[in-house]
Every structure is written in C-alpha cells, then in structure tokens.
Structure 1
Amino acid sequence: MKTKSILSIAIMAMFMAACNQKVNLPDPPVAQKIPKELKIHDDTRIDNYYWLNQREDSTVINYLNAENDYCDAVMKHTDEFQTKLFDEMVARIKKTDESVPAKSNGYYYYSRTEGDAEYPLYCRKEGELDAKEQIMLNVPEMAKGFNYYSIGSYSVSENNKILAYSEDTLSRRKYTIKFKSLVDDKVYTDEIANTTGGITWASDNKTVFYTVKHPETLLPYKVYKHVLGTSSKNDELVYEEKDNTFYTFCYKTKSRKYIMIGVSSTVSSEYRYIDASKPNSEFKVIQPRERDLEYGIAHYKDHFYIRTNYQAKNFRMMKTPVSKTTKENWIEMIPNREDVFLSSFEIFQNYLVIGERKNGLNQLRIRNWESGKEHYLDFGEETYDAWISANPEFESDVLRYGYTSLTTPSSTIDYNMGTKEKTVLKQQEVLGGFNKDNYEAKRLWATAEDGTKVPISLVYRKDKFQKGKNPLWLSAYGSYGSSSDVYFSSVRLSLLDRGFVVATAHVRGGQEMGRYWYEDGKLLKKKNTFTDFNSCAEHMIAEGYAAKDKVFAWGGSAGGLLMGAIVNMKPELYRGVIAAVPFVDVVTTMLDESIPLTTGEFDEWGNPKNKEYYDYMLSYSPYDNVKAQKYPALLVTTGLHDSQVQYWEPAKWVAKLRDMKTDKNPLLLKTNMDFGHGGASGRFERLKEVALEYAFVFDQIGIDE
C-alpha cells in the first residue's frame, strides 16, 4: 500500500509538471507515517519518518523522485531564468586558465583548464617555467563516463618518476589510489580502495603510506604501507586507531625528513613519526595524547616546531629537539595571547611566518630568525581574508600568500620578506566588465542576546543600495571552530547586480574571534550560534541594510542545522531560507554510532547518551522542534550518496514540515541522485545548483530577469 501511494504521487507530480502554471501547481508529495518509538532516558520520541533511512529501498527512492518532480514542477516557470543565471555566471569565468606554478623538488607544478572542460589538467615542467609541459593527469579524459569524478590528491615520488593519485567516482569520499609512471605514462596495476585519498611517499620511491576508512562509519582509522608492484591485499598495517572519537591521517614533513601519522579528536591530538628513508622502522610517539591537549607538528633541522593549546587557550608556538619530544621539553617561542589566536605558521631558512587572527581578521606576521625583528603585512581593507599559500622550499626568502576580499578577486602574491616587495602573480580574472569600484564592503557589529558583539561582513552594489529597501542574503556556518572568512565570488555578482546586500554573520561556533568564540558556540552553549544569527539579521534590518520583509538566509551542512534552528525559533524574521545538505536530525544521528562522523563529534555536540546533552540537543534539534506554525519559503537540498550528512535527515525534516506547517509558502526538497555532500564535481555543472537557489530566492520577491 505504501509503495502504491507514493508511486501515485510521483505520477501525478510528473503529469502536473508537464502542464504546470505558477498559479496551478500540483499537490506536494505526502510521505506515509510509520510511527517509530525511540526511547532513552525515560523519554520516548515518535519518529513518523524513520523509514526514510533505507537508501536501497525502492519506496524511498520513489518518494525522493516524487519530491524532485514536485520541486521541478513548482520551479518550472523559472527554467528560462535559471538558464539565464547559469549562463551569466559561466560567462564571468575565464574558461581557459592556469594556476600559479609552485616549485617543488626541481619541478614546477600547476593545473590548467581548457575551454568548456569541467575538469582541470594537472601538469608540471622541469627546472624552468619555459620548459616543455608534461601533463600528469588529464582529468577531462579520466572523468568520461562518470556522473561524478573527483581527484582527491596526487603525490610524486622523491625521484620524480612515479605519480600516485586518488579518485572518487561516487561522491562518498571513498578514494581509490592508483599509480602511473611519469617516464612512459604506464599505468601500474596496483589499486588501493576505500582510502581517504591522501598518499605519502617514503624516500625509497617504492613505498607509500595511506589511511583507510572504516567500512561502516567511514572514519579514517588505519594506516597501511604499500610497496609498489605488490598486491594491496598484502599491505602491512602500521597503525590502527582503536578510539572511534579520533580521526587518523598521514603526511610527510616539509623537510621531507619524516613521515608523520597523526590522530585528532575535537579536543585532543597525538603524533608519531619515522625517518622517511627508513619506511620499515617503528613509529615513535612525539607526545602521548591527553584530553584537552592539542598540538600540530612541523620539522626544521634538529627541532620539531609545535603549535599547541598546552596551557594556552589561544594556542602558542613551541619547539623541541627531535631527540626529546615530550611536552616537558617544549620551549616557548610565541606565547599565548588573550586577544590573538595563533592559527598557523610557516618555516623558512631565514624567516618565520605566523598566521594570526585578531578581531575576526587574519594577519600575517614576519619574523627574522637572526635579528628577531618582525613586521605585519598591511592589507588595507576593512574586511578581507589572507592566508599562507604553497611554500614547499625552505631556502626561499619569498613568501607566497593568498588574498581576497568581498570586492577583490582572489589573488596569489609573492612577498620578499627582506625587501618587503610585493608581486601579484595572478588575480582571478572576472569577465564581463566587472569593476570593483561599483561595490562597497563594510563590517558591522551586532549585539547578541547576551551582550556579545558579533561581527558581520557585507557587500553591496553602490548604485543599487537604498537604505531599508534592499533584499538581504545572509549566510553563516558556526561550527567546529571553522571560521567563515570572506572571499570574492564572481557568482555572487548575480545577487549584487540585482540589488541584494550579501552578508556573512561570523557567529559563535566558528573561531573568528579566537578559541573562546568556538567554545561559546558548541556543546551546552550551541544555542549561541542560532541566537547570534538572528541578532545579526535584526541588526542589519535596524541599520537599514535589509528590508524587513526581504531577509533570506543560507547555510549548508552544520550551517544547515543553523537554518533549521532559526526557522523554528523566529520564522517571521525570514522571507526565505535555503538549507543545503542540512544536519537537522541531531539527536537521532548522534545516538547512532554506525553513522559516519558521529563518534568523532561527541566533543562538538555532546553525547546524547548523557541525559544532560540529550535534553539540550532535544531543545534545539530542528527535526524534533518542528511545530504547527508559519514557516518562511524553504528550499532544502541534499545528495543521495552524502557521507557527511545522510540524505534522510533533510528528507525527514521536509516530510514533517509538510505535515505541520500552517502556511502556504513553498517547501521544496531537491535530492541529487548522483552526488554527495559537495554536490556536482564539474566546475560549471555545480553552478546549476546555485542557479536553482538564486531563482528560488528571486521568485519570492518577484525578480524574474
């Protein structure tokens, strides 16, 4: 009976879509209710849509297809507009382009794109930039025949003769490692499946280390050693992480001297190492793991350099002799500061470069090893992002860094740390007559419910701005300590040129304002993320940067959780909301340790097997808090093969919203049946998803061209 009813809905939706007019839309699919009791802590939740978590069930697939048909029918009248949006976004992109080459071990490495190709070519040149080009990976050819194709990473052996690379053809982030000769293009028969995609070469040019994923949870938990020319079935296990709250990874130090195995959780980390020239030796632990002790490792000459939160809330920099690595031997180089977060560093022969974050902005500090003199780079804009780029050579006095802002296209810059001379090697070219002087970027500070000042970065087109009348596109993330740094987007011009103010709310849960900013937005303080966002929206209305009835919000993944929370809390504040691959069924997911990422995130969200965390999660979980009230227009997107946020979370959420909401605003679910968490893999194909999102928002306020 269940299958028949859903199939009928699908057929009806397809029929109505064929003759759809905006004023005569089909009825939306109605998911059958099959009550499922979920009991814990003497509490019982009834989940009517639990059955949707069967990816292989044809009934589930039919329901998702019916929702897709309904979404297509409702948006049918915007098809031409979506095509126009897609075409104008593509028209701004330089189709034949090339990255800035980076020199490593005697070769210049770069990628380039040709014409309408969806994927890049990965190339190199030996010794000089005018040398003959060698195409290592012709991804447009490799991707043929696949709906989805992604290169995870590539790595070249120390003798520069063998390329190892990883590919994903399903969008589940399960990569297969392959090998090819860079001498004669011969492809080796060696294949290693179910890896994270990372590849680390030993110095012998035949041994690689890699990390595999747990077959059920997809957690990276084992490191193996593979010898080229042998079967991966015989690969030696060199490390297994038994604690399922930790993630495992492997890399080689910049010095090429050591191979590192790292494990990390939300609040703890641990590293072990071997000499890269002795791949069969035993790994040694640098500092045994301790709860609330995080550290990261780099190597230079006789010391390991360490970024750590050891007795340092905002992190500090230490060093220790390679022969004595435990924390009692660590020597402080840069102290902890309450108002400055130490985010990264890069070691050169003559200079140390320190990445810092102060007042929500990234800074780069240069220190001369010999003299101790130091200075900061001046970026000259009110809101921006800057970061240390690829710097594989120790001996250079030139720092390569990246820079962008809301009005400045992404730039790659070489900075001579001695002469202080800057050379812009490349700035993203925006076709179609873009002029940055037409746009203005600003930084505001909203006051949160508890009095905390929350930064907002915004941009608008000057000649389209009218105080109090512009529509607003407001986005945020606010989880895992991941900072929402600003960046230039040529795609975003389709919003700005139609009068939108586009803003990012730097809410708590990120790390924009330092470590405490993160800790004030997780676990039992998670609701600060949601109330901060609402406060930012209200502040922008009050300051005249948004019309009260034209506020739109966007968030993806954990940012999709944010979207689900704000529409439950203050639905009247928003005209429309887009939730991309949203994490909305928080309690059920965090109780299911078989789901990828669950166990590794107990220190982010809490473990609901503990009643205190269960009760708190239950008080904000978007799915559990849907109620009979009016909701804004909603577009929800997901991917059937998503390994990060399972498709059934948004599917269940939409089904429950349909049943309970009291308004007639659009509620659409779009499931990509071919892709996963990151959406389409092609550089142009993914813009079709953006065109749908933009058209949905424009449609709510009558913009149709």
Structure 2
Amino acid sequence: MTSDSVPAAVPAPPRAARRSLLRSHHGDVFDDPYDWLRAKEDPAVIAHLEAENAYTDARVAHLGPLRETLFEEIKARVQESDLSVPTRRGDWWYYGRTVEGQQYGLQCRAAVASPDDWTPPVLDAAVPVPGEQILLDGNVEAEGHEFFAMGAFDVSDDATRLLWSTDFEGDERYTVHVRDLVTGETLPDEIPGTSGAFFTPDSAAILYTTVDESWRPDTLWLHRIGTPVTDDVQLFHEPDERFWLGAGITRSRKYLVIGVGSSITSEEHLVDLDDLTAVPRVVWPRREGVEYSVEHAVVDGRDELLILHNDEALDFELVSVPAADPQGGRRVILPHTPGRRLLDVDAFRDVTVVAYRFEGLERIALMDPTTGDLDELSFDEPLFSAGFGGNPEWAAPFLRLGYGSFVTPSTVYDLELATGALHLRKRQPVLGGYDPADYGQRRDWAIAEDGTRIPISLVWKRSFGEPGSEPRPVHLYGYGSYEHSIDPGFSMMRLSALDRGVVFAVAHVRGGGEMGRQWYEDGKLGHKANSFTDFVACARHLVAEGVTAPDRLVAEGGSAGGLLMGAVANLAPELFSGILASVPFVDALTTILDPSLPLTVIEWDEWGDPLHDADVYAYMKSYTPYENVRDGVAYPPILAVTSLNDTRVLYVEPAKWVARLRDAGSADVMLKCEMVAGHGGVSGRYNSWRERAFELAWILDRLGAAGG
C-alpha cells in the first residue's frame, strides 16, 4: 500500500505569500500572485525554496531505507571501473574510463600499434593500459566545486593539444581551456562564456561560439592560440533572435560549415578551410519553413554536397548539388517517401550511410550515393534503437554503430565495410546475473479522441506475467515535443522497478517524432493539446486492457514532458496515483510572453507567439498547467523536481505551480529544488544515482510496490 498518512512530526507545507501582479494581454487580465518567486537573488525566495526542500525531506523521510536500498541496487549492477570501446583518430585510440569510487570519468588515449591496426584493443579496467595518457580527469576538474559539467572536448588533428570547457554553476556557460599534450602545460588561452568550441584542422586556432543575453548561441569566433582573447576575430553573427548558431568541420576536413536555424527554418554557410576569414558563402538562402542540412561527399571524384531538406517534402528528401555551385541543379538521391522520415546522412571516402525513421523505429542503411540504393541493417528484436556514431575518420575500413533495446544493454558494433560483417566490440555489463530473456517488451496501440492510433511501448519482467493478465503497477513516461523521439533504450536503474513487478511504459504521443514529421506537426502550435489527450488515451487504454488500475499508475515527464504532466494532471487527475514532473515547463504562457527570458523568441516556432497573436494567447492559456489548476479538485500526489540554476526551464515555474496547487487545496504536493545544479540535475554519477533513487522510491511508494 502507498504511504498516504503524514507523520505528526512533518511540518505544515510552506505557503508562499500572495502578492498581486496583474498581467494584461489582448484584453485579458490575469493576476499572478506568485511571480515574485522569480527574484532569484531575493533572500525570501531562497528561504522559501529551502523551506520547500525541508518539507519534502520530512514528507519522504520514511522512504529513506528504500532510497538507500535502491541506490545500492543500482551501484551493485554497475561495473564501476569500466572503459568505453576505443575509437581511432589518427595514430591514437581514444576512450573514456571510470574508476570505482570516483564521481567523474577520465578521458584517455593510447597509441595505435601500427597504421593498419583498425581493431580496437580490448581493454581491462583492472589492468593498466600500456602507454595510456590521461588527457583529462573530471574528478580533478571538479575539486572544490559542488557542480561540474564538461562541455566541449577536442584534440587537435596533430594530436598535440587538448581543449575542454567547464561549467561549475549549471547555467551552461562554459569556459574553454587549452593544454599542451607534449609538455602537459595548461596554456593561458582561457575563453569564458562559450557554448561550443573545437580546433581548426591546422591545430593552431580554436573556433568557438558565444551566446547573447537570452542564452542563444549567436556568434562564431576565431581564436589563434597564444594571442589575447581580445584579439579574436568574429567570423559570423546571426542577429535574428529566432535562430541558433552552430558550426563544425566536415569529416573530409575540407569545409567549415556554419549553420543557423530555428525550429522550422535553417540556413547553412560554407567556408573553405584554406581561408577561414573569407566571407562564408550561403548554400541555400533561408526560406521560412524550409529546413536542410549539409554533408560533404566525394562522388565519382566530384566534390558534392548531400542535402537533406523538406522543401515540398514533409518527411524530407535527399539531393546532391555541386559543392562549387550549391544553388545549381539538384540531383535527387532519395525521393520523398511519405512515412519514411529521413533523419541524417554521413559521408565517408568509401561509403555513405543514412538514418531514417519508419513505422516508429529508427533504421540505418548503407547507401549508394549514385543510385540511392539502400542496404538496411536488420536486427532481430521487435523494438530497438540503432545508429552510427563515433566515426571521426574519413577513410576508415570499419564504421562504429550503437545498438540497444528496452531489454538489451547498450551494445557497440563495428561494421566491416569490405565484408558487411558486424563485429561485437562490447555490450554494457550488468552485474548480478542479468539475463535479457527474463524480460519482455512489446508495443500496444491506444486510440486517441480523434481516432488516431497512439503507440505505447511496454517492458516488464516475465516472472510477473504478461501485462494484461492482471492489473499491475505501471510507470508511464511521456514527452511529446520538438520532434524528439523516446526510442527503446536500456536502463540499469529501471531494473529496480521491473524486478518489483512494475511495468514500464512509454506513451509515444504526438509532438514527438516517432511516427514521422506529421506526428510532430500534429502535436505543436495549435495542435498542442493532442499531446495531452494522447497521453490520457494511453493511460485509459492501459486501464481498460487490464494492464493497470488508476491506483497503480504513476506518470512521469521532464522539461516539455513536465508541461505534459501538468496538463494531464488538470485533464484527468483521477487516472493517476502519482505524477513526477522534472524541471517542468508548467508556466509556459508566462515564459513565452516574455522575449527577454532565455530561449523565448526561439520557442515561438514551437508553441506560437502569444505576445503578438491573440488566438495563440487564448489557446496557450487554455492548456498551460499553472493557469488551469482547478480549485477543489482531488489532484493525485505530485512531486516536482527542479534546479536553481536551470536556464532552460526556470525554477520559478514549478515553484509557482506547487504554490498554486496548494492554494487550490491539493494537500499532497512537494517541490524538490537542487540549489547547485542546472537543467540536467545534479552532477557526478553517484550523485545522479542517489537522485534517481530518491525519485524511484517515491514512484514505487505511489505504485504500492515499495515493499516488493
């Protein structure tokens, strides 16, 4: 049973003071009495957040033993001293490793035995790696700091220099550092306030991006190593507040590609690496609603650009254009095929690979860039994730790919191009005798209000029976925004719930990208409510099919998925025994109305512009969780988790939401605010395990599975 009684020692929940603040737009006046919590530097705000933390700690104190048990279970499954599969770049094998008892990983390398050696060495974490060089020790970097995150990490092409960037606040503004790998000396080239950074191919300079006051990457700079940062050269600036800027160097090492894009429009620029200060030349001029990406390829000896685009091609088309004249004639390689969402193309000297989504799963294939013929890689499981990655070399005879499913731990293969053979390099170890055959996975389909079939992925432990044989505790997860797909993936931490009889489920609601671009279009802007009603339909399907019951169903979502959680709490509170909302975007209308806040203008393409459009304002106000909390409604217990230094979803959103829920009479609502963390939560693997153990203990308690 769940722990609904509150011990007498638990204090009363904090009550935020009401301070009237009238907001007026399009003739609508809204009184927002809790917006004063936005003043992050106000001691009264900090005191309120600390009171919320104290209250939450007291409310869940009885779960302390379970939290410790869960933490120890997670820890016992993990091979704490471990190494990644080495990736070859130049004359070195690069890999990461972890050491038992240390919070952060180490980035390392070892010399390649011979130029023809493309089989990665099999490393043993218990045995010192011959000739190993530790490039960066995250534990050393983190010393003296409560929070540590690494941003950029790059080694120069000549293998003599390292750059990395650090964030000690959680606000995602990074400081770049440079080290001479020959002498071990850290150079004075320190660049603050960056978002991304990498070396130029000549190893003599750094390209980096900076952000504007709204945390939008908007400017690309060139820093020549050994010169003052004040002498850095601005290479590109994007003034349009709707567009982000990013940059990278083609795998062929021929071009610098500068990309700018909003949620619906993109524009790419090329710079020959022989002259980085030359004026970038645009590939295709931006057109509202047209997205595209560029990859350099050599086809039959010709320099070509492979361009994925959605110009009159909803699920994207792949074309080739001459690199010297990209606005010239297009040669179609992969025509638009409705339902086959083209995602990515990677060109190498001897092969081209394509990633696409079809029937709810991501697929990968080798492609003939002349004919467009595809040779899709097949896998045995009905639900899986697969993708190419970690392939920096232009002319490698092997391609690295990753694979996994809800029951198969993360797996690394090398595809041998000469034979087509897949070589297993490593499968994530799970200590304690884990057997994938003990667990099952399947896909169900719910019917939405408008008749649309909504996929639901399920994973469970077979010894408890097939889902539907009797009502079971179900942990239902959802996201549904930005065309982001929640693909099948293994979780070490999830096993603690599965082994207690919990069924884990993912509601693949509209607004995500699981079923193609139209799936995304049908869950954004004026169709956003579909995401919420889809999730409710999935929950009702699981109840109707006997998989679970409302008193054994907990929902979880984070960030934009936290908006989903707040909306379904208002729509169908009776369906859930608990709702976990992580860094939840629950005060969306207030945020999207304020263009001075980080990311707001960029977000107008996703949600609409309520500042200038009365219809958008009215629509957003109809679903924003904070503004639609209903007085006197029996909301399920809610746990909201946030971070003080989050720059993506400000802590004030869940703080206001929790205050409003209490004001409406909801007795069981808690806020947990990390006082030194960002959007991704706490840093350090042991800290993150403890954080997840905290959340899992609460979920299991709400599911009635805490004693299992």
Could you tell me the TM-score, scaled by structure 2's length? Answer: 0.94
Structure 1 unaligned spans of 5+: 1-19
Q: Which deviates the most, 462-471 or 556-565?
A: 462-471
Query: 1:5 — aligned with what?
Result: none
**Residue of structure 2 aligned with 1:111, choices 96, 101, 107:** 96
Q: Which residue of 2 aligns with 1:631?
A: 635
Provide the secondary structure at the position in 1 that maps to 2:402: strand
Q: Which residue of 1 aligns with 2:410?
A: 410
Structure-1 separation of matches of 2:491 and 2:589: 35
Long gaps (5+) in structure 2: 114-120, 122-128
Q: Could you tell me how far 1:135 is from its partner in structure 2?
A: 1.0
Q: What's 1:472 paired with?
A: 474
Partner of residue 343, structure 1: 343
Aligned ranges 1:230-629 → 2 under 5 Å: 230-301=227-298, 302-326=303-327, 328-368=328-368, 374-465=374-465, 467-609=469-611, 610-628=613-631, 629=633
Whether the 8 Å CA contact 1:506–1:512 is kept in 2: the answer is yes
Matching of residue 157 in structure 1 with residue 159 in structure 2? no
Measure, in 1, the Cα distance between the counterparts of 2:74 and 2:109: 30
- Which position in structure 1 is the counterpart of 2:125? none
Question: Once the two structures are superposed, what CA deviation does each residue of 1:523-543 show, in whole Å capped at 9, x if it has no partner?
Answer: 000000000011111111122
Secondary structure of the 2:557 match is: strand
- With 78-87 and 557-566 compared, the bigger mean Cα shift is at 78-87
Q: Distance in 2 between matches of 1:251 and 1:587?
A: 34
Q: Which segment is superposed worse, 504-513 or 376-385?
A: 376-385
* Cα shift at 1:445: 1.0
The separation in 1 between residues aligned to 2:361 and 2:208, in whole angstroms, is: 35
Match of 1:624, SS? helix
Counterpart in the other structure of 1:652: 656
Shift of 1:479: 0.3
CA contact (8 A) 2:554 2:703 kept: no
On the 8 A contact 2:552/2:704 being kept in 1, the answer is no
Quickly say closer, same or farther: Cα 1:337–1:625, change in 2 above 3 A. Answer: same
**C-alpha contact (below 8 Å) 1:21/1:77 kept by paired residues:** no
CA–CA distance in structure 2, aligned partners of residues 701 and 409 of structure 1: 26
Secondary structure class of the residue paired with 2:550 = coil
Cα deviation 1:110-165 (Å, max 9, x = unaligned)? 11111111111111122234761111111111111111111112112222111111
DSSP 3-state at the match of 2:476: strand
Deviations for 1:225-261, whole angstroms, at most 9, x for unmatched residues?
Answer: 1111112122121111110000011111111111121
1:58 aligns with 2:43: yes
Is the 1:85–1:494 Cα contact (8 Å) retained in structure 2?
yes
Q: Which moved more, 1:651-660 or 1:310-319?
A: 310-319
**In the alignment, residue 457 of structure 1 is paired with which amino acid?**
S
| Other-structure match for 1:45 | 30
Number of matched pairs: 681
Q: Which amino acid aligns with 1:303?
A: E
Instruction: Name the CA distance, whole Å, in 1 between partners of 2:330 and 2:680.
Output: 40
Provide the rounded CA distance (Å) in 2 between the counterparts of 1:56 and 1:369. Answer: 56
Partner of 1:219: 216
Tell me how far apart the structure 2 counterparts of residues 24 and 66 of structure 1 sit (CA, whole Å).
15
CA distance in 2, matches of 1:101, 1:424: 13
Deviations 1:659-682 (A, max 9, x none): 103x54x21100000101101111
Give the Cα separation in 2 of the matches to 1:439 and 1:241.
50
Q: Which moved more, 1:361-370 or 1:57-66?
A: 361-370
Q: Partner of 2:126 in structure 1? A: none
Cα distance between partner residues in 2 of 1:394 and 1:279: 21
Conservation of the 8 A alpha-carbon contact between 2:558 and 2:583: yes
Q: 2-side partners of 1:241 and 1:462: how far apart?
A: 54
Deviations 1:504-545 (CA, angstroms, capped at 9, x unpaired): 111110111110000000000000000001111111112222
In the aligned structure 2, how far is the partner of 1:396 from the partner of 1:231? 38
Q: Secondary structure at the match of 1:329?
A: coil
Deviations 1:430-475, CA, capped at 9 Å, x for gaps? 0112111111101111111111111111101111237232110000
- Please give the TM-score of this superposition, normalised by the length of structure 1: 0.94
Distance 1:36 1:329 in 2: 57
Flag the 1:47–1:338 CA change in 2: closer, same or farther, 3 A: same
> Contact 2:252–2:348 at 8 Å: present in 1 too?
no
Say if 1:445 and 1:455, in contact at 8 Å, map to a contact too. yes
Shift of residue 699, structure 1, vs aligned partner: 2.1
Q: Structure 2 counterpart of 1:279, which letter?
A: L
> What is the CA-CA distance between 1:656 and the residue it aligns to?
0.4
Residues 23-51 of structure 1: CA deviation (Å, up to 9, x unaligned) = 55321000000010000101100001010
Counterpart residue type for residue 168 of structure 1: D
Which residue identity lines up with residue 42 of structure 2 in the other structure?
Answer: D
* Residues 136-147 of structure 1 mapped to structure 2, 5 A cutoff: 136-147=135-146
Q: Give me the whole-angstrom Cα distance separating, in 1, the residues matched to 2:530 and 2:179.
A: 50
Counterpart code for 1:169: F
TM-superposed deviation, 1:418: 4.1
Percent of matched pairs sharing the same residue: 40
Classify the secondary structure of the residue corresponding to 2:188: strand
For 1:544 and 1:108, locate their aligned partners in 2 and report how far apart those are by CA, in whole Å.
52
Shift of 1:562: 0.1
1:207 aligned residue: 205
Q: Tell me if the contact between 1:486 and 1:504 (Cα under 8 Å) persists in the aligned partners.
A: no
Give the 3-state SS of the residue equivalent to 2:680 in structure 1.
Answer: coil
Return closer, same or farther for 1:21/1:556 CA change in 2, 3 Å cut-off: closer
| Aligned partners of 1:200 and 1:250 also within 8 Å | no
Which residue number in structure 1 is paired with residue 674 of structure 2?
672
Do the aligned residues in 2 keep the contact of 1:635 with 1:668 (CA within 8 Å)? yes
Question: What RMSD over aligned residues (CA atoms) do the two structures have, in Å?
Answer: 1.5
Helix, strand or coil: the match of 1:674? coil
Query: Cα gap change, 1:520/1:373 in structure 2, threshold over 3 Å: closer, same or farther?
Result: closer
Deviation for aligned residue 1:371 = 8.0
Which consecutive segments of 4 or more residues in structure 1 shift more than 6 A? none
